Amino acid sequence: MKGCRIVEKFVIHGGKQLHGEVNISGAKNAALAIIPAAVLCEDTCRIENIPNISDVKTMISILEYIGARTRFIKRDVLEIDTKNIKAMVTVPDDMTQKLRASYYLLGAMLGRFGCASVAMPGGCFFGVRPIDQHVRGFELLGADITTKGAVISASAAHLIGASVYMDNVSVGATMNVMLAAVKASGLTVIENAAKEPHVVDLANFLNSMGADVRGAGTDVIKIRGVRSLHGCTYSIIPDQIEAGTYMVAAGAAGGSITIKNVIPKHLESISVKLIESGIEVMEYDDSITIISDGKRPNKCIVKTMPHPGFPTDMQPQMAVLLSVANGTSYISESVWDNRFMYVEQLRRMGAKIQVDGKTATIEGMEYLVGAPVKADDLRAGAAMVIAGLIAKGETVVDNVHYIERGYENIIEKLIAVGADIERVTVLTDEDRIVAGAV
């Protein structure tokens, strides 16, 4: 039929409490830096605990495009052979546009070959997302950076260690400069570095390859260049944001779920906010149990900050919890210019949220009402799912491809703890559904 297309949606019937266990997958934002980091050696790396998400599939296809050979030797164990990677390959726009992390190919290829050519990255839209700190870091290491159309190229006869003071804390720039610096001659010191768990995970992976990276997880990272790197076997950390998303879902929906395969230390800022909102959080060595009677949470003030502050990637999910809190809550977003686009969708479900610049004022309602909504980006999509779990009636979430960029088996994991959620495939003519599951 003219103009028709097949789309997938999530259909959720709210009001069910959640009980049982959820197993957390490997961290998306660690995997998306570690997979390209394998380019730095001419060997084979075996990376365990790889999450089965579309962004990882895209990153693997980029590595294969430049000549790597990859294969899954187990469901979540990826083997990458980088011996035949070609130096003078431009990673094209249609690949890099699919995800933000494609810019790590710049640092990795520059670090291995002294040259790189990568089209501008894509990624969720939260307003302007410059990469000036990445470029400045590469230039301080001695690279010449040119842009031609959408393609950024970096080249350096040889990279020399330097002091790189980040104007603002940047996860991507910190990790990209690390990638370019591990084989530079001499010492590189990154100051005002990002301290996220995935920054530490990348540093640990690089050190497993024979690099000399110290101080990751603090404001100052010191990298002493080495002549060559070798393959290794490495297991990626659990996903802090996936775990946090299920913690908030359990707190909002009520019930008791144990979230397994986590590092509680990485979740502290989220646990603190849930406890403040009246939800019980019990920490164990590698799991966290959330117990909630399903009553309305207490109001809270949330400020997103770089790690170890409250993660910006948990901001939309927290807004859903607070949209049914007792009283008025406030969320201020300090990392991104425009990360409240999901509010429009929540308003369709009865939420009362006013956004003024970087602060959202949330007047807690007794309940939300199910409605057709859409995911504007990855974490906003996760927030719509949580909203559907707690709303009265049916919620249909569109644009679910965003959600599947970063949440492995989200439907299966939620059904296993009692959620009434299903993925449906519909034929639509843009404005309306013309047929059910096809």
The residue annotated as part of the active site, out of 41, 124, 232, 300, is 124
d(CA 281, CA 83): 47
315 sits near ligand EPZ (criterion: CB under 6 A) = no
Residues 217-276 touching ligand EPZ, rule: CB under 6 A, are: none
Q: Which residue has the closest beta carbon to ligand EPZ?
A: 172
173 sits near ligand EPZ (criterion: CB under 6 A) = yes
Beta strand spans in 227-351 (E): 233-235, 255-260, 280-283, 287-292, 301-304, 328-333
171 sits near ligand EPZ (criterion: CB under 6 A) = yes
Taken in order 161, 166, 169, 172, the sign of the CA dihedral is negative
Pairing of strands 287-292, 280-283: antiparallel
Structure tokens at 326: 């007792």
Residue 336 CB, shortest distance to ligand EPZ, in Å, is 5
Structural contact between residues 294 and 249, judged by C-beta atoms closer than 8 angstroms? no
Report the 10 Å Cβ neighbour count for 214.
12
101 sits near ligand EPZ (criterion: CB under 6 A) = yes
Residue 73 CB, shortest distance to ligand EPZ, in Å, is 25
Residue 34 CB, shortest distance to ligand EPZ, in Å, is 11
Residue 288 CB, shortest distance to ligand EPZ, in Å, is 20
User: Considering only 109-117, 142-150, 165-173, 395-403, which stretch makes contact with ligand EPZ by CB under 6 A?
Assistant: 165-173
Pairing of strands 287-292, 255-260: antiparallel
Taken in order 434, 98, 407, 322, the sign of the CA dihedral is negative
96 sits near ligand EPZ (criterion: CB under 6 A) = no
Structure tokens at 332: 């201020």
**Rounded to 5 degrees, what are φ and ψ at 338?**
-145, 75
Any catalytic annotation for residue 124? yes
Residues 393-412 touching ligand EPZ, rule: CB under 6 A, are: 406
132 sits near ligand EPZ (criterion: CB under 6 A) = yes
**Rounded to 5 degrees, what are φ and ψ at 363?**
-90, 110
335 sits near ligand EPZ (criterion: CB under 6 A) = yes
Nearer to ligand EPZ, 107 or 350 (CB): 107
Residue 138 CB, shortest distance to ligand EPZ, in Å, is 11
The SS3 call for residue 293 is: coil
d(CA 20, CA 235): 26
Query: Contact letters (x/-) for ligand EPZ, 375-394, by CB under 6 A?
Result: ---xx---------------
User: Considering only 169-177, 243-251, 341-349, 417-425, which stretch makes contact with ligand EPZ by CB under 6 A?
Assistant: 169-177
Residue 168 CB, shortest distance to ligand EPZ, in Å, is 5
Q: Which of 72, 84, 86, 130 binds ligand EPZ (CB under 6 A)?
A: 130
Nearer to ligand EPZ, 51 or 350 (CB): 51
Q: Which of 25, 312, 345, 399 binds ligand EPZ (CB under 6 A)?
A: 312
Nearer to ligand EPZ, 150 or 157 (CB): 150
Q: Which residues pair with 26 in a beta bridge?
A: 238
Q: What Cα–Cα distance (Å) separates residue 348 from each residue in 251, 325, 404?
A: 22, 18, 23
Q: Which residues pair with 101 in a beta bridge?
A: none
Of 382, 401, 406, the C-alpha closest to 30 is 406
32 sits near ligand EPZ (criterion: CB under 6 A) = yes
Q: Which of 10, 25, 27, 29 binds ligand EPZ (CB under 6 A)?
A: 29
Residue 233 CB, shortest distance to ligand EPZ, in Å, is 23
Nearer to ligand EPZ, 46 or 129 (CB): 129
Nearer to ligand EPZ, 24 or 335 (CB): 335
Structural contact between residues 379 and 345, judged by C-beta atoms closer than 8 angstroms? no
d(CA 23, CA 7): 28
Place of tokens 């059904």: 415
129 sits near ligand EPZ (criterion: CB under 6 A) = yes
**Rounded to 5 degrees, what are φ and ψ at 407?**
-125, 105
358 sits near ligand EPZ (criterion: CB under 6 A) = no
**Rounded to 5 degrees, what are φ and ψ at 32?**
-75, -10
State the number of binding residues for ligand EPZ (CB under 6 A): 25
Of 244, 111, 241, 86, the C-alpha closest to 178 is 111
User: Considering only 15-23, 167-175, 316-324, 325-333, which stretch makes contact with ligand EPZ by CB under 6 A?
Assistant: 167-175
Pairing of strands 328-333, 301-304: parallel
**Rounded to 5 degrees, what are φ and ψ at 331?**
-125, 125
Q: Which of 108, 124, 182, 371 binds ligand EPZ (CB under 6 A)?
A: 124
303 sits near ligand EPZ (criterion: CB under 6 A) = no
Active site residues: 124
Chain residues in the site for ligand EPZ (CB under 6 A): 28-29, 32, 100-101, 124, 129-134, 168, 170-173, 194, 312-313, 335-336, 378-379, 406
